[in-house]
Amino acid sequence: MKIAQNRSKKTLILPAILLAVSVCFGVIIFINYNPAHSPTVPKSVTTKKSETVKAQESVTAKQSTPEVTKTEPKTITTAFDKSKYSTTDPSSIWIVANKQHQLNPAQFAPSDLVTYGNATISSKAIDDLRAMTQAASSASVTLTAVSSYRSYSTQNTLYNNYVASNGQVAADTFSARPGYSEHQTGLAIDFGSIGNSGCNFDDCFATTAEGSWLAAHAYEYGFLLRYTTDKQSITGYKNEPWHYRYIGRELAAEMKKQSIITLEEFFGVSGGTNY
């Protein structure tokens, strides 16, 4: 009986030992393969790698994208074309008539004369004369012409009368000989004052409302104050604050811009006090 009991105990102990060994072996395997115990990459290392990749991508993008250079648009200034109109053709709005330059032909007569108010002028000037008159009227200034186009014959009679009254030397300082007058081109107008007619054809016209307005605004409409005291040696004539010559807005604006007040100086044309 004892022998049988001992065998029975041995039989029970062996499986228990095997079971214990199996459990221990399983625990060891479980510990070795637990994800919590597997090696991991520190977050700081991952972040640095990510930043490095992004930096490399940024450099690559900059290298592959051509830089666009912005340039400011250049302003092109075109020189004034002084050859646009003739300075010798009596039908041109840029004609230069003075004691050195006679009209050709001498008995030239415009073929396009029109009348506006008291003025008889070339049709080339009519639109700007109308606009100027209306602008002055808006400023309570009434512009009126006391002399405009004169034929060769009329200028001849007028000049001879001045010579008879004042002598030729004196007459030549304020009256053009026939064939040399701007009035003969139909582009010149002598303005007068309605409220102060005593200043018509006199230096005091410059002090009238009409004279003051014209001096300030005539160029805006293409009219040039042709004869001034300081330019007598160039134009050949004494101061005439009432005498305006139509040259067109383009030229008038350019002369104003350059502060040039005589056609002779602007175009480089000879002038003077002698015929």
pLDDT computed for residue 10 by the predictor:
52
CB 262 within 8 A of CB 100: no
| pLDDT reported for residue 76 | 72
Divide the 275 residues of the chain into consecutive groups of 10 and give the mean pLDDT of each group: 48 59 56 49 47 51 54 73 98 98 98 98 99 99 98 99 98 98 99 97 98 99 99 98 99 99 98 97
Contact in structure between 91 and 79 (CB atoms under 8 Å) = no
Distance CA 247, CA 62 (A): 61
What's the whole-model pTM score? 0.74
Which tokens go with 106? 């001498």
Paired with 101 in beta bridges are: 98
Mind listing the domains of the chain with CATH numbers? 113-267 (3.30.1380.10)
Residue 218 near residue 224 (C-beta atoms within 8 A): yes
Q: Which residues contact 112 (CB under 8 A, 6 or more apart)?
A: 122, 123, 124, 186
**What's the pLDDT score for residue 11?**
55
**Predicted confidence (pLDDT) per residue in 64-122, tens digit:** 555 555 666 666 768 999 999 999 999 999 999 999 999 999 999 999 999 999 999 99
Residues marked as catalytic:
240
What pLDDT, on the 0 to 100 scale, is given for residue 54?
53
